[in-house]
């Protein structure tokens, strides 16, 4: 999620967001969110690792794909976002991340500056079972490699970042519930096997 996901969407009514902490230091934006989702960790994990369909989580995502698989649990993922923040600042943003999976409890993504419009960035999803649901700790930080207009102000960026993240978490919950099949067991894709691939862009 880069510069509020470049979204101006309304929140989806779902998920129980319990706490959100925001910060901005030396050009780096930080966010931490705690929530409870009404779906088990394995189903949530299946949704957030469906890299070719990230547009389901972010309405402004125009393109997403796996650039290459390094091994069964590590991939480089490309995302293209296009949109505006609060109808003030509009931009097309490229992001390349190295994603490491520890199913079904943790996922981390590190921005690779080469090929990205970010100097740095990091996202971490931590999932733990809570009855039939999931307790989520979501942490992100990002440093834009482009000029952000001063008139936006930290308060405006923080509000947009909070709204976009809570909207994303709500969408994750909805999609995770849809992955549930007979017997209440979620469907999870098999991890890739064999040699790493480098598909054509």
The CA–CA distances, whole Å, from 51 to 6, 98, 107, 166 equal 18, 12, 12, 19
Check residue 132 and give left, alpha or beta (phi > 0: left; psi -120 to 50: alpha).
alpha
Percent above pLDDT 70 for the chain: 73
Domains of the chain: 3-181 (3.30.530.20)
pLDDT at 60 over 80: no
Contacts of 164 (CB under 8 A, 6+ apart): 1, 4, 5, 7, 9, 58
pLDDT at 8 over 50: no
- Predicted local confidence at residue 1, as pLDDT: 44
Preceding amide of 104 cis, omega within 30: yes
Tokens of 194: 């064999």
Contacts of 150 (CB under 8 A, 6+ apart): none
Residue 48, φ and ψ in degrees, nearest 5: -75, -10
* Residue of 185 and 37 predicted with greater confidence: 37
Q: How confident is the model at residue 51 (pLDDT cuts 50, 70, 90)?
A: very high
């Amino acid at each position: 999620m880069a510069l509020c996901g470049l979204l101006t969407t309304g929140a989806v009514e779902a998920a129980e967001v319990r706490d959100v902490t925001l910060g901005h230091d030396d050009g780096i934006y930080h966010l931490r969110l705690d929530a409870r989702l009404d779906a088990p960790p394995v189903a949530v994990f299946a949704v957030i690792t469906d890299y070719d369909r990230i547009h389901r989580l972010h309405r402004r995502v125009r393109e997403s794909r796996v650039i290459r698989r390094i091994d069964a649990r590590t991939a480089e993922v490309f995302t293209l976002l296009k949109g505006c923040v609060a109808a003030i600042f509009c931009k097309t943003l490229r992001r390349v991340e190295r994603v490491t999976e520890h199913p079904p409890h943790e996922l981390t993504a590190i921005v690779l500056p080469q090929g990205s419009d970010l100097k740095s960035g990091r996202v971490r999803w931590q999932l733990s079972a809570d009855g039939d649901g999931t307790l989520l700790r979501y942490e992100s930080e990002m440093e834009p490699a482009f000029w952000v207009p001063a008139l936006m102000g930290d308060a405006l960026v923080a509000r947009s970042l909070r709204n976009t993240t809570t909207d994303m978490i709500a969408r994750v919950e909805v999609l995770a519930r849809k992955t549930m099949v007979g017997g209440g067991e979620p469907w999870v894709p098999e991890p890739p096997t064999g040699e790493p691939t480098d598909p054509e862009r």
